[in-house]
Structure 1
Amino acid sequence: MLTYVLTAIGDDRPGLVSTLAAAVDDHGGSWVDSQLALLAGKFAGIVRVDLPEERAAGFLDALPGLAAGVGLQVEAAPAHPEDAADGAPAGTGLVLSLLGQDRTGMVREVTEALHSQGATIDSLRSLTREAPEGGGMLFEAEAVVRLPEGVDESEVREALEAIAAELMVDLDLDATA
């Protein structure tokens, strides 16, 4: 089996996921893992698939047809065998939650603080929404981060709390379950 990571983007419309799933299945592949989202009328996804080695080339050749058929641009990158293995990644997992008045640079400052501590962002979801009673726009984010072995959670918390005060946001950091 060969493992590929697919990235897909296109204008949202019914049938995009089923068309991609059919292409995987038609080539004897298995849909292993995925993250799919809709933002501003665009569908985007990242999908890990396993394909029989003898059918992988046919699958890769079929991907451009998805753009012509349903408007879904799909790129495939081979996954490294060590990255495709199941199991939890090494390191301490934390969930970061942030809520505050929206302003430019928030994501940059938070992610730079995480990077300075050696953290890896496994997932990040953010949005803006109207504050209650006409209080402007709020920015809300939740991230799952992983600290490398030997990095103390308290140091990460300290780095984040310093910028939380500067950004005037509520920031929580909790261990993953």
Structure 2
Amino acid sequence: MDHLIVTVFAPDKPGQVEQIASCIAKHGGNWLESRMTHMAGQFAGILRIGVPADAYTDLKNALEGLSVHGIRVLFAEVGIDSGPRRPINMELVGNDRPGIVRDVTRLLAEQGVNVESLVTNVDPAPMSSELLFRANAVLGLPLELTLDALQARLETLADELMVELKLKADE
């Protein structure tokens, strides 16, 4: 069994996921996992599909053919796992400003931490009109990096950025 990693983009409207799922099933594929979302009138997602080797090319061509329905697809190479990591949850809240994501992810990359999931948004603060940036992430820590060491590095950055940052081991 081969795998396809597919990113899909389309205008958000009912039936988009069904069209993709029908295409996959019709061409012998098996929908294994996905992350999908709606944002600013658009639908986007990434999915992993299992497909028999003899159906691989036909399924790939059929997915590309969804463009007639406004569904665009991109294919990625199936990656090689970078090894075992410990999952850690990170929450960040602070006044919004350009560069927060860049600064935090730079520090994480320097420590060998993998960002496995990241959800961000900007909302007005409850008691003021200031915009608050919020991020929730699942991080993959290298086994040799302690949570305390990462916490110390992030706290220094959090003070510079004037944000509240919490790390919690995944239980």
TM-score range, shorter chain: over 0.9
Q: Does 1:67 align with 2:67?
A: yes
Q: Does 1:157 align with 2:166?
A: no
- Unaligned runs of 5+ residues in structure 2 are none
TM-score (norm 2): 0.94
Contact 1:3/1:78, CA 8 A, preserved across alignment: no
TM-score (norm 1): 0.91
Contact 1:31/1:49, CA 8 A, preserved across alignment: yes
Residue 119 of structure 1 is matched in structure 2 by 113
Distance 1:78 1:154 in 2: 35
Alignment of 1:1-177 (within 5 A): 1-68=1-68, 70-80=69-79, 83=81, 90-177=84-171
Distance 2:106 2:43 in 1: 28
* Cα offsets for 1:78-113 (capped at 9, x unmatched): 425x55xxxxx6122110000111111111111111
Query: Which amino acid counterpart does residue 47 of structure 2 have in structure 1?
Result: V
Report the secondary structure of 1:132's partner residue: coil
Aligned residues with identical type, % of pairs: 36
Structure 1 runs (4+) deviating above 3 angstroms are none
Report the secondary structure of 2:127's partner residue: helix
